[in-house]
Amino acid sequence: MDLKLNYSNVTNKEEAYNAVKLAVTPELLAKWQVKVELEYNTDNISAKGKGFTLNVDFKDDHCAIKLDVSFLLKPLKGKILEGVAKQFQRVV
């Protein structure tokens, strides 16, 4: 786990999952200019793109975010996580 975000706008993992699912739109992804394949599973959202994989696991009181990046993106991992955290904190 690279990042842990406690819920402040929602009360449980189902609400958090649905809020994130509604917030992650094609418009948001276009803003970041990345091509991403999204996979929605029970209590988990996975995003895969060129050089990275982002997994979000929804727990009872927080969401656990794990980001795997390629060697070339390693210097940007902190900035990427910061951007992800900012977007997620608005909805969870």
Dump pLDDT digits (tens) for 58-74.
999 999 999 999 999 89
Q: What does 32-86 look like in DSSP terms, one character per residue?
A: HT--EEEEEETTEEEEEETTEEEEEEE-SSEEEEEEEE-GGGGGGHHHHHHHHHH
With 0-12 / 13-18 / 19 or more C-beta atoms within 10 angstroms meaning exposed / middle / buried, residue 2 is middle
Predicted confidence (pLDDT) per residue in 34-48, tens digit: 788 889 998 999 989
0.85 surpassed by pTM: yes
CATH of the domain at 8: 3.30.310
Q: Which domain holds residue 66?
A: 3-91
